Chains A and B, each alone.
Chain A
Amino acid sequence: MELRYFIIRRLLLLIPTLFGLILLIFFLLRMFPDTYLVARYINPKSSVPVSVQIEQAKAALGLNYPIFIQYFFYIKALFTGSWGTMSTSIYTGPVLSGIELYFPATLQLAIFATILSIIIAIPLGTYIGARPNSIADQTGRVFSLTFYAMPIFLLALLLQLVFGKNVIVGNPLGVLPIAGKFSFNAIGAIPPPWFNASTGLTSPTHLPLLDALIHGDWALAYSSFIYLILPVVTLTLSLLAGILRFIRAGMVDSANQEYVKTARSKGVPESLVIKRHIRKNALIPTITVLGLLFASLLGGVVVVEEVFGYYGMGMLSLSAITNVAIYGVLGTTFVFGITLMAANLIVDIAYAFIDPRIRY
């Protein structure tokens, strides 16, 4: 079967997965007692009796219908409504607008970390995987095992200690800012119209780096770039360590396969044997685990945002959890779920590109 049919089929498969995800979120919501959902619509000081108010609110929320009918109401509301409101220390308002404001920052961290770690891991993994048990390999193994095993908040704190500005007095390496998205000094006395002083967010993309570049504000672009370094490096190191381990293992495994011997017997030069014959096969198991690693990366983003004060979806969901803003929790969970689905889709398609044996 051709590749494009595979891709189309895989895209169509997203639809049932999406409904499964919605079902899961819906169940999370319905785990709360009805009274919890109704509570916010009750005014104890009103002249209407509370019991009547409860009945009215239940009717308005559709809680009198059978639960599977409620599921369809929920789906409709997901596609048309604003996903409820939340009120927390960092954001108050409709959940959907909150996600719109904070999701780009998270996506930016995740994408930068993913791209950077793939760019580094493939050549590095090829190099050390082609020389098993050499000094480079041993160093690489120590490196990757260390960062793979280290909790991400610990890594973040260590990086802050070593490279953070003014963390340790007199540390020549301490040049990078440790918290925030950019320096307010770079904004200037009169903030530009695309900067919202009350939320600290820029438009149109809500990514300071991109927005500054769009509007040609080089000072702000530079500042937001500097602030991006430590969080991205933290995420990259932990993701890179995982990928590196799998590429290395894949390289060693496929170097012992018969087809490598065939390639050598044809007179293929060693460098091409590694690039063309060994690496291509080694990438197959690597891509398989990339989806899983990406899931752990999303978990890492939440922690990294918190440690570096980098306001994003992670902070939003954390504040929703600590403030028991139930719609906030559901909304952010849904978005994280969709992100993971998208990442797995990309992984599957990349898999099909590399391994001709995969066509479901």
Chain B
Amino acid sequence: MLAIDPAKKLSFNRLISNGDLVIVYERHDNMKAVTVSEGSVLQNRFGVFKHSEWIGKPFGSKVFSNKGGFVYLLAPTPELWTLVLSHRTQILYIADISFVIMYLEVVPGCLVLESGTGSGSLTTSLARAVAPMGHVHTFDFHEQRAGSARDDFERTGLSSLISVRVRDIQGEGFPSEFAGLADAVFLDLPQPWLAIPSAAKMLKQDGTLCSFSPCVEQVQRSCETLQNCFTDIRTFEVLLRTYEVKEGKMENLNGDNNDSNGSLPCKRRQRSDGSYAPDTSVSSVMARPCGEARGHTGYLTFARLKCL
């Protein structure tokens, strides 16, 4: 997924090959991840697609089925992966993920600790942010989910950047081998206050911490615990409002077309006999907010380790 090997980076000349992971785009709300395999096919409502016909094409290509239907083959990115991955747990979405990466100040070379791994949605973006010299150590107390996450990271080519371990961070804290080495710690746990003292030991001076909690009671308790070793404690909510766009005609409300009422000036169409007729509509692209929106995902609490 990431160009850890510069030779594999996305370019006009990087063509789909056998074994590549592609995102098959049917519609904006209908996508899936497929590993290209020479003899395989993809079957959907548009027909049958042969993988062999995909090989050698550039990413972003439109490919056709036996029935003439089509899909697009996109290069995988952490954002697309978040939309197609299998949910073993509730995941973090793009708005929260982007903000976390920015606010934790994760850059190439950073060492980041995360618990819980969940479905690996955030982990994938963390890997992108620390690549190529950094590393993400992620911990989950659920052995099966840790295994599925490991498999996913193999599939997306991120195993060299992510280490998954089974560990109960609330009960045992982070492993002492990381003490004083972490640039950032991310917590998505039911009782993050139990893990905060350990997180404090892991962080470098002025290192950043983020805790994600759906409920305000969890936030309050976390903030209280953070007071001891942390400063600059801030809690946010972030949401995305989306817009729909269409081309439309706006009717001119002023029927007799004189501008005595201070209405908007409008164009006049010239008729074939040379006289002018009022142009009663203006074509333009209009945008308006979508009626539905996600109301809440969780609160994001950030803090910095106090300088001694």
Q: Do A and B assemble together?
A: no
